[in-house]
Structure 1
Amino acid sequence: MLSGACGTLALALRGTRAPTSAVARRGLRASGSRPSAERSEKAGEPPRAFDPALLELLVCPLSKKPLRYEASTNELINEELGIAYPIIDGIPNMIPQAARMTRQSKKQEEMEQQ
Structure 2
Amino acid sequence: MLSGARGKLALALRGTRAPASAVARRGLHASGPRPSADRSGKAEAPPRAFDPALLEVLVCPLSKKPLRYEASTNELINEELGIAYPIIDGIPNMIPQAARMTHQSKKQEEMEQH
Compute the TM-score of the two structures, normalised by the length of structure 2: 0.67
Name the residue aligned to 1:56: 56
State the 1:22 CA deviation.
4.4
**Correspondences of 1:95-114 after superposition (within 5 Å):** 95-105=95-105, 107=108
Runs of 4+ with >6 A deviation:
108-111
Identity of aligned residues (%): 67
Query: Which one of 8, 11, 20 corresponds to residue 25 of structure 1?
Result: 11
Tell which structure's C-alpha radius of gyration is larger.
2
CA distance in 2, matches of 1:109, 1:99: 23
Retained in 2: the 8 A contact 1:86–1:99? yes
CA RMSD of aligned residues (A): 2.9
Cα pair distance change 1:108/1:48, threshold 3 Å: same
Name the residue aligned to 2:31: none
Segments of 5+ residues of structure 2 without an aligned counterpart are 29-33
- Aligned residue pairs total 97
Compute the TM-score of the two structures, normalised by the length of structure 1: 0.67
